[in-house]
């Protein structure tokens, strides 16, 4: 469904582009496309281009920034994350409330120490970003919604077939 939505958007953009050239005296040459993706967008763009050779032919570059291509953690972690992702109606509010309670009560230095020593996030800038995200409940919710959707929607093995 999401791939069809993106294809529809690309088709709309291309139709608008073609209409502009029809109204001018210039000869319409199809534009070269560049796709810049992140996370789940890498999967969407890849799937979209596999299903539409016409768009692929116009594509000059594909730049994936931190793509989420496969979901293949160790079995126990996979089972836990899949369970959380498939019960998202319950797990997202619970996790958000827990994060809200923890960030309201724990001093930032303690959270920073935890992220560094326990989670293993040794990059100072990365920890600052993580702390900023954790202290904004809407950001936590957005990350969970998108992450759980990726876990539910992406195939375990790369799909190279046309749809």
Q: How confident is the model at residue 158 (pLDDT cuts 50, 70, 90)?
A: low
Q: Long-range contacts: 73-81, Cβ < 8 Å, 24+?
A: 81/151
* Rounded Cα distance, 3 and 51, in Å: 9
pLDDT of residue 56: 92
Which DSSP string do the residues of 92-144 spell out, in sequence order? HHHHHHHHHHHHHHS-HHHHHHHHHHTS----HHHHHHHHHHHT-HHHHHHHH
Q: Residues 49, 59: contact at Cβ < 8 Å?
A: yes
pTM of full prediction above 0.75: no
* Rounded Cα distance, 21 and 31, in Å: 11
Domain spans of the chain? 2-67, 75-153
* Rounded Cα distance, 57 and 78, in Å: 37
* Rounded Cα distance, 80 and 151, in Å: 11
Per-residue pLDDT reduced to its tens digit, 78-105 = 899 999 999 999 999 999 999 889 888 9
Per-residue pLDDT reduced to its tens digit, 98-141 = 988 988 899 989 999 998 999 888 999 989 988 888 888 788 99
Residue scoring higher pLDDT (117 or 43): 117
């Amino acid at each position: 469904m999401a791939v069809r939505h993106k294809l529809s958007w690309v088709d709309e953009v291309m139709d608008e582009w073609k209409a502009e050239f029809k109204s001018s005296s210039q000869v319409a040459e199809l534009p070269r496309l560049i796709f810049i993706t992140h996370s789940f967008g890498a999967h969407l763009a890849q799937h979209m281009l596999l299903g539409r050779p016409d768009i692929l032919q116009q594509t000059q570059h594909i730049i994936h920034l931190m793509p989420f291509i496969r979901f293949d953690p160790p079995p126990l972690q996979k089972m836990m994350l899949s369970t959380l992702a498939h019960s998202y109606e319950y797990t997202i509010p619970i996790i958000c409330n827990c994060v809200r309670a923890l960030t309201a009560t724990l001093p930032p230095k303690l959270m920073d120490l935890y992220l560094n020593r326990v989670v293993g996030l040794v990059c100072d800038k990365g920890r600052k970003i993580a702390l900023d995200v954790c202290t904004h409940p809407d950001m936590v919710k957005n990350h969970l919604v998108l992450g759980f959707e990726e876990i539910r929607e992406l195939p375990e093995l790369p799909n190279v077939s046309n749809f």
